[in-house]
Amino acid sequence: MKSHELFRTLLEDCNAKQLAGQMCLSTSIIYKWAEPATEGGSGTLNPLDRVVQLMQSTDSKTIAQWICEQAGGFYVKNPRPLRKTSHSAVIATNKIVQEFAHMLSLVASAAVDNSIAAEESGEIRDRWERVKSATEEFVNCCEQGNFDDIHPRSIEPEKERASKS
């Protein structure tokens, strides 16, 4: 779905004038967002298109993650297109279990003194976010019956993380 089509759909359920008032904008700009922003068109680049431009310009997915958090969710990147390989489900399963074990190890290390500091909490959150992404990718590969994309990548191993500290 294109961004202007999403705006058109949104305007079916909400009042453009009320939305414009809440956003301190003119009603006409709200309607222009619901039109294609082409050279010959009357639409204008809408906030969704600008967010995409910002992500492309910065080459950062943290913007998408932040938006998802604002909506009470979590951003999970789609895996690359799958290709047929000979990698097995057993190897892929072992990898996802290992990634989860690394996260549990981090939790156990942080909690050993019966207190979790803010820095430790941040590390746990970062690891958990990576485990969720890896798990989503694993499930997607399971659904596709192809585990090739799981093998070349990994969540930062504990040794590498420890050496960065």
For the segment 100-128, what is each residue's pLDDT rounded down to a tens digit? 899 999 999 999 999 999 999 999 988 88
* 43 Cβ contact partners less than 8 Å away, ≥ 6 residues apart: 4, 32, 33, 34, 35, 36, 37
Report the alpha-carbon distance of residue 65 to residue 63 in Å, rounded: 5
Reported as a single tens digit per residue, the pLDDT across 58-80 is: 988 889 989 999 999 888 776 66
- Kindly report whether the global pTM for this prediction surpasses the value 0.75: no
Kindly list the domain boundaries of the chain, sorted by start residue. Answer: 3-70, 89-164
pLDDT tops 80 at residue 9: yes
Report the alpha-carbon distance of residue 118 to residue 147 in Å, rounded: 36
| Range from 86-100, 118-132, 136-150 that averages highest in pLDDT | 118-132
pLDDT above 90: percentage of residues in the chain: 38
CB burial readout 61-76, b (16+ within 10 A) else e? eeeebeeeeeeeeebb
